[in-house]
Every structure is written in structure tokens, then in C-alpha cells.
Amino acid sequence: MTSPDLGLLGTVRSDWTLEEARAIYTAPFSDLLFHAQRVHRENFVPNQVQVSTLLSVKTGACPEDCKYCPQSVRYDTGLDSEQLLDVSAVVEAAQAAKANGATRFCMGAAYRNPKPHQLQKIKVMVSEVRALGLETCATLGMLTPGQATELKDAGLDYYNHNLDTSPEFYGEIVTTRTYQDRLDTLQAVRDAGINVCCGGILGMGETETDRVSLLHTLATLPQHPESVPINQLVQVPGTPLHGLPELDPLDLVRAIATARLLLPKSYVRLSAGRTDMSDAVQALCFLAGANSIFYGDRLLTTPNPGRSHDEQLFQRLGIVPEQAAAVAG
């Protein structure tokens, strides 16, 4: 099959072939970044980055066996489990996040799927955070269609549920829920009218073909996710993936650029693993089309660059958070 002309890319499609996705990913690096930046500028304001804050509202003791996750009850990572936070504590954290420039507040709970009494409390959190003028996001594990509707009615704007990796490699990473389980939750969220946040993790021992397959799966969903987090594995001692070879930074940049070309109108979030990235690598990721990050010094249970470092990097790169740009305008 003839490789796609990168110069013609930029249209939203859900009929990409795997061969087309592979040809984009393996294009000469400078060509790939040039056209990713072109498509980015066609769809977004240049030099603006959406800023989110993530809070773990219930930590640890998760029954799933995701091999990357320190919150699994199956692995000894030294993580102390915590019960679901009080609503007041979540609201206080959301107020601080807004004051620090975040426009979206994400609440993560280590559940396989939330029980009714847990969901009731989380719905109150969602309503209270939204009342502050912030976009709301949650990641709570699998959802039924009814639960997704309840969260929508409570005011939830986004739901995060990552595919993690390719369908072919998925069984090497998770065995306690299927790939179809994840797709079913995404469909329930979409049917409820909630925006979808869905991406994956790189550096888990997958092949280049797996990375392409993950991006192809995201780009061939009936409707593209509004937000696509691209995570670099954070290796935590005690998890089965600790000790793997480090991800080549250029592979991360390639994945982000490919995501930008396959999903031209989606926000692409440079997500977990930024503490292991140099400023130069992060700059390349923004050039490749990443336009969303998490502010704050933690992502659920793993480190994240502090707000002051991100502000300094933004200043050096001439990047402005979306909220600040809106106020300035």
C-alpha cells in the first residue's frame, strides 16, 4: 500500500488502516514533527497548553493486576491504602488547583468498578468541584451504562479510561479485565454524553508495532477521544515492570506526533513520566503536538514535576496555560 502523504493529513477520520498508521509513525523524524506541528496549528492556538490537576480520592487496595500499577493489592510497593476522601478535602484541593491555573480537576479512585455508595459520594464531589467553575474528570475503573448516566447527571465533563496498550500486547499487562471490558466502558461513557479521555502507556516492554496498534485503535474509535493522555511508564519498585529498559525519548515524541496526525482535534496530554524527561524532550513533545499536561507534584501516587518547574519551562518555551491566555485576551 502507498504511504500516506503527510502534507495531506489533517482531516478527522476513523477509517485509518494499520498500514497508514505505521507509515506515519515511521516517517522521517523531521517530516513527522513538521506536519504534526502544522496540523496542531490548524486545530489549536499555538503555544497554549491546557492544564489539569489530578487528585487520588481513594488510594491503593485495587484488586486488579495491572503490572505497572503500585496501587494493586497484589504487589508490595510500600504504598499505604487510603479510604475515599471526604468531600471537603476534595473541594479544598480543587480550589487550590484553580488558584494555581488548572482548568480541569481530575479525581482518581483505585476501584475495579465503584459500588453504589461510593458512587454517591463521588457524585457529590463532582457537583461541588464543578460549582467552582472547573471542568470535572474522573477515573474510577469500569462503569455500567447506568453509572455513566449518574455521573453525567452530577455534572461530570470527562471520564478517563485508558486502553493502556495494543490489543495484542494487553494480556501481558492485565489479566483481570479484558480489552473489551475497557471498550465497553468507553462506549457507556460516550452514550451518556460524557467526554472521553483515553490513551495509553509506553515503555512497558511493547514493540513498535504495539505502539502503532494502540494509536490506531484510538484513532478508529467511532468518535475520537476528546483527550488522549500519552504516558511514559513510571517504574515503581515492587511492580512486575520495574527494571525494564528505559523508553527511547524519540519513540515517545514519535508517538505524540503520530497521535496528533491521527487524532487532529483531540487534546494530546503529555502525562505520566515527565519527571524522567529532560526539558528538551518535553519541548520536542510540545512541538510534536502535545497541548495538555498535569500540574502538581504528584499523579495519583507517582511523582510529577512541581508547578514552579513547569512555569519556568513554559516561560522558556513561550507557552501560556489556556486559562491565563483567556484572561490576558
Whether 198 is catalytic:
no
Catalytic residue among 62, 104, 198, 285: 62
DSSP class per residue in 138-189: EE-S---HHHHHHHHHHT--EEE---BS-TTTGGGT--SS-HHHHHHHHHHH
- Does residue 211 contact residue 22 with C-beta atoms inside 8 Å? no
Contacts of 126 (CB under 8 A, 6+ apart): 107, 136, 138, 151, 154, 155, 156
- Does residue 50 contact residue 300 with C-beta atoms inside 8 Å? no
Catalytic residue among 197, 198, 254, 260: 197
CA distance 113 to 252: 30
Whether 66 is catalytic:
yes
Q: φ, ψ for residue 51 (rounded to 5)?
A: -115, 125
Catalytic residue among 177, 182, 269, 274: 269
Catalytic residue among 22, 104, 137, 211: 137
Catalytic residue among 22, 104, 106, 274: 106
**Region of residue 97 (phi > 0: left; psi between -120 and 50: alpha; otherwise: beta):** alpha
Residue whose C-alpha cell is 496549528: 41
Whether 130 is catalytic:
no
Catalytic residue among 22, 66, 182, 274: 66
Q: How many angstroms from the chain centroid is the CA of residue 212?
A: 17
Whether 285 is catalytic:
no
139, 153, 159, 148: which is closest to 64 by C-alpha?
139
Catalytic residue among 69, 198, 254, 274: 69
Beta strand residue intervals within the chain, DSSP E = 48-58, 104-109, 135-139, 158-160, 195-197, 200-202, 227-232, 267-270, 292-295, 298-299, 302-303, 320-321
Residues assigned a catalytic role: 62, 66, 69, 106, 137, 197, 269
